[in-house]
Amino acid sequence: MPETTGTSAAVPFTRIAVMGTGAVGGYFGGMLARAGLDVTFIARPATADFITRKGLRIDSANFHEALRVKATADLAAVKDAELILFCVKTLDTDSVAASLKPFVKSKAIVVSLQNGVDNADRIRAAGLDGFPAVVYVAASVPERGRIKHDARGDLAIGGEANRLADLQRIAATFTQAGVPCEISQNIDTALWSKFVFNCALNAISAIAQVGYGTVGTEQWGRECAIAAAKETIAVGRAVGVQLPEDEIIAKLIAFAQKMGEVRSSTAQDIAKGKRTEADDLNGYVVRRGAEFGVPTPVNHTLTALLKLIETRL
């Protein structure tokens, strides 16, 4: 169960760097900057230049605002940060973490706001102090420097029991900015539950170029999503994570139907001619399934189709 006791007394971080200024980094970093915290965005040169000149615009259901923020393409800008939001695509996790390592000060905390279930481990393997987070947000980047926020915008974070004080500071930082942030006592279950949603919906939305609502409503899409979810749950259980299948699938279909024409981040990547996170979503299920002898034919097919689409991007 989530645990938030004590976060109100924790002292928030004030110097923050956001590594990757896509939909997730732009939204959550933007919320922190909007609250008056010292936030530096690290982005590709063209994006950093645009944000420096024009600002970062967030179009939300709750507000529309252009924020004047600091942005740069220089990784050395993380050197003074106490908290680093790690928001790059999963295919770049290893290389970016290794590139950041020389510039990150020893006591800085890195929080992975990414899809997938193993990013924090990969960040720690690079020598950084990585914490996992589960991101619940529907957002996109319709044009450079603009974040379109469609729904939710909350987080769950977790880590070892002896790091509670650090977790409380992270949660307090987001809470101060109006971002709900829970401390989960079972972050692996939370990560895998979200992962099931990603594996069941993202690839189908991308391959068919349709919104979540269509996947959850149309029989063929719904049955395919449920099959992918069941495989992913079976692999998660084999890994050792407790996942209630009926409950997760019921929530999955309700979520998809509620989201209407919102499309997955994978669909957005394909529409923009970018590589997808297939290897770290459905492909990860296939690899781990092979390790434990769990059949994953639906996830294998979805991965194969995404990889074939990538050959023409």
Cβ atoms within 10 Å, residue 106: 5
Residue 116 DSSP one-character state:
S
User: Rounded CA gap, 72 and 44, in Å?
Assistant: 8
Note the pLDDT of residue 7: 57
Domain ranges of the chain: 2-185, 189-310
- Those residues of the chain that have pLDDT short of 50 are 1-6
Longest dimension (CA), the chain: 53
Task: Tell me the whole-structure pTM to 2 decimals.
Answer: 0.93
Structure tokens at 266: 């994978």
Note the pLDDT of residue 313: 81
Note the pLDDT of residue 2: 42
Q: Assign 218 to helix, strand or coil.
A: coil
- Say which CATH architecture domain 2-185 belongs to: 3-Layer(aba) Sandwich (3.40)
Structure tokens at 308: 């074939």
Q: Assign 10 to helix, strand or coil.
A: coil
Residue 155's nearest CA partner among 28, 1, 64, 26 is: 28
Rg (CA), the chain: 19
Query: What are the helix (H) ranges across 75-218?
Result: 93-100, 119-125, 164-176, 187-208, 212-217
Give the angle subtended at the CA of 41 by the CAs of 40 and 42, to the nearest 5°: 120
User: Rounded CA gap, 136 and 154, in Å?
Assistant: 5
* CATH class assigned to 189-310: mainly alpha
Note the pLDDT of residue 13: 97
Note the pLDDT of residue 61: 83
